[in-house]
Every structure is written in structure tokens, then in C-alpha cells.
Structure 1
Amino acid sequence: MEELTKTEERVMQIIWKLKKCFVKDIIDAMPDEPKPPYNTISSVVRILEKKEYVGYKAYGKTYEYFPLITKSEYRKESLKKMLSGYFDNSAESLFSFMLKEKQLSNEELNKIKDIINQNK
């Protein structure tokens, strides 16, 4: 699975949310003002199609796009890359980093403990 740029990932997040969409729908779903040009988003979607993240159905010269990769699949691959690239494939290092960098509430810590206990 080829890595996405920040812009590609932002567009992909919208496509996952919409499930099926046209370029205009993607632009409408973007919170940024001013909105990016149609051609810019169209180019990003074509790149996502070449990377095999999205497929399309043609209606004449208009294309309806849909995800080929689920958000869950992408999240799994991204986490694997982050774990290997930054934490030497050590979940312990990742959790240690998270605990040091983010002050977790007792409730959050208890939820993490419950998740660990359920997955033993």
C-alpha cells in the first residue's frame, strides 16, 4: 500500500465519509475557506485512483468515486509503518511514549487496562 501525502489523506478521509461522491461533493465537504480549485481536487482524486485507493464509475465525462481501501485497512497499515519507523516495532515503546506525552485521566487508563485484559 503506497503512502499518502497529507492532502491525499485529507481527501481520502472525505471519500470514506461520503462513501460515493463526485469531485464537487468532496470540495463541498471541505471546511477550508476559500475552497480549493476543482482542478486541484480532481488531480488529487486521480492520484488516489492511480494508487488504487479509489475506484470510479463513469457517467459520460463525469466520474463518481468510491473507496477501494477501507479506513480500517489504511489505519492498520499506517500504524504498522509508524510502529516500525518510530518505535522499532515495539508496542511497549509506543504506549510508553503515549503515556509520557499525553496526561491520561484515570478513566482513560482504566479503559486501556480493560482493553488489554479483554485481549489477553
Structure 2
Amino acid sequence: MTTLKKIPAAEFEIMKVIWKNTPPITTSMLMEQLGKEKKWRAQTLISLLSRLVEREFLSTEKNGKERTYFPLVSKEEYLKYETSNFMERFHENSFLSLVNTLYEGKKLSNKELEKLSEWIKKRGE
């Protein structure tokens, strides 16, 4: 597999749907799950899928008139990649910096802080 690269938001939306489904997934299935929400035309979806194939996030096969797609990158792999980049770029790889930013921005509730504290205690054992 090639080195992962950041994908644009629209392509990430497609990947989220693909990851939620059992492979393979067809263009029709994607259109049904994304089309109403995004109001994309079929050609738009096909273009975005082609880019994901070029970037080696998906493989594709033609079955009759329908194309099927298979993920080559798991959700976990991509989230790990994105999170790592985010931590490095914005927080100099400091988990404390990230948590402090979330806390100061009122993004963490007391309950979440308690869960985080429990998580840290378990990791320290």
C-alpha cells in the first residue's frame, strides 16, 4: 500500500459510508445513502470514487453494468493517520496541549474528564 495522504472532505464523506457497509458496495448503494443528503448527481459521485481509486483508498470491479468498490484503507488506519498529523501540526505531539485546548474551549464535560482520568490511570498501570 502507498503512503496515506489526506483526502478532501467530500471523499471522506464517501469513505465514511463505505466503512459503515460490508464490502463490496455499489455506486447505487452509495447514491442511495449519500445522494439525498448531499444532493450529488451520479456523475459527481463517480468522479469522487475515481479519485479514491487513484489515491488507492478503494479498489473497483465491474460486474455487469454496476461497479463495486472495496476499501483498501480501514477507518482505523485513516483516523490514526489524520489524528497523528493533527497532533503534530497543531499540538507539537502534546496530548496535554490537545486536552487543554478542548477543556478551555468547553468541549469536554466533567463526565468526559472523569472518563479520561480513568483511561489514563488504566494506561499507567
Return the TM-score normalized by structure 2.
Answer: 0.87
Give 5+ residue unaligned stretches, structure 1. Answer: none
- Is there any run of 5+ residues in structure 2 with no aligned partner, and where? none
Q: 2:61 aligns with which of 57, 61, 71?
A: 57
| Equivalent residue runs for 1:22-101 within 5 Å | 22-30=26-34, 31-32=36-37, 35-101=39-105
TM-score (norm 1): 0.90
* Greater than 3 Å deviation, 4+ residue runs: none
Quick one: percent identity of the two aligned structures? 27
Helix, strand or coil at the partner of 1:119: helix
Counterpart AA for 2:95: A
Distance 1:22 1:109 in 2: 41
Question: What is the identity, as a one-letter code, of the residue corresponding to 1:88?
Answer: E
Equivalent residue of 2:60, what SS?
strand
> For 1:63-89, what per-residue CA distance to the aligned partner results, in whole angstroms no more than 9, with x for missing partners?
110111110111000001101111112
SS at match of 1:81: helix
Match among 4, 7, 27 for residue 4 of structure 1: 7
